[in-house]
Amino acid sequence: MERVRGASRITCLWPGLWRLWHQGDFSSLLEAIAFAALLNLALLASFFRSDAVSHVWRLGIWGSAVVFWLFGVWRGLRQRTPAGDADWAQNQQDLFIRAQSEYLRGHWVEAQTLLEQLIRRDPEDVESHLLLASVYRRTQRIDLSRCQLRQVQDMAGAARWRFEIGRELAAIDQPSAMTA
């Protein structure tokens, strides 16, 4: 997922490209084309026809291109951060709620599939690891459950889940409570 996020950041480097790529906004296409035209004009005036354009005009064109670029990058980063991260977080939350719902219905395979998908997306998701350990316990895969709980205990965000981890370990040790 991090590689996708990195690619998303790159689209902020060309004015208008982030909104065009991620939201399909037509006005962003015009913004991207306008920046390309201004950049081409600056390059043309500086390198191809430098004798036909005065030094003051070249500085003005380059200054306009730099201001346009800086404003476009700022705007792209500002728009990307809340929407991109919020969408990703909302999708993660929706998947977790679905996994939780399948777990509560006793649909262990579906819950496990969703939880494994969540963990692939965010390997440090303590809640998903903890719920997956419970799925393993309920499906009599005690070794997998213990392994999952050991993995959770080593994670950075595990401190606030210490009580639940302890309860899950206790449930593993009580044979009568394994399916409860």
Q: What is the DSSP string of 72-129?
A: HHHHHHHHHHHHHHHHHHHHHHHHHHHHHHHHHHT-HHHHHHHHHHHHHH-TT-HHHH
Architecture of domain 106-177: Alpha Horseshoe (1.25)
pLDDT for 131 = 94
pTM: 0.51
Query: Cα(80)–Cα(60) distance, rounded to whole angstroms?
Result: 30
Flag residues of the chain having pLDDT under 50.
1-4, 82-83, 177-180
Residue 50 in 3-state DSSP? coil
pLDDT for 82 = 46
Q: Please, what is the Cα angle at 55 between 50 and 60, to 5 degrees? A: 105
pLDDT for 50 = 74
Residues of the chain with CATH 1.25.40: 106-177
